[in-house]
Amino acid sequence: MPIFEYACQDCGQQFETLVRSGSVPACPHCHSTQLEKLLSVPARPMGSEAAPTLPPGCGGCAQASGGGCPMRP
């Protein structure tokens, strides 16, 4: 049973819940089934170094300059 994060479209509550195969989750606050599944971000293990950050995107530089993106070799 995976754990998913949801945001209720009716009351705005965000929550995590275990979802069994074939079941429809409901908001624990208002019991609505109008939910949006959120992107879960895994936690960093304790004692590990910070994950490297990625450089910002090129912002469409390939179209603006007519060349390739400098972020990609």
Q: Return mean pLDDT, the chain.
A: 76
Tell me, yes or no, whether 34 lies in a domain.
yes
Confidence at residue 21, expressed as pLDDT on a 0 to 100 scale: 87
Confidence at residue 50, expressed as pLDDT on a 0 to 100 scale: 61
Confidence at residue 16, expressed as pLDDT on a 0 to 100 scale: 93
Q: For the chain, give me the number of helices (H) and strands (E)?
A: 1, 3
Cα separations (Å) of 40 from 27, 35, 67? 17, 15, 35
pLDDT-derived band at 48, boundaries 50, 70, 90:
low
Confidence at residue 33, expressed as pLDDT on a 0 to 100 scale: 96
Total number of domains in the chain: 1
Tell me, yes or no, whether 16 lies in a domain.
yes
Tell me, yes or no, whether 66 lies in a domain.
no
Supply the range of the domain harboring residue 15. Answer: 1-38
Tell me, yes or no, whether 48 lies in a domain.
no
For tokens 């979802």, name the residue.
Answer: 19
Confidence at residue 56, expressed as pLDDT on a 0 to 100 scale: 58
Tell me, yes or no, whether 63 lies in a domain.
no
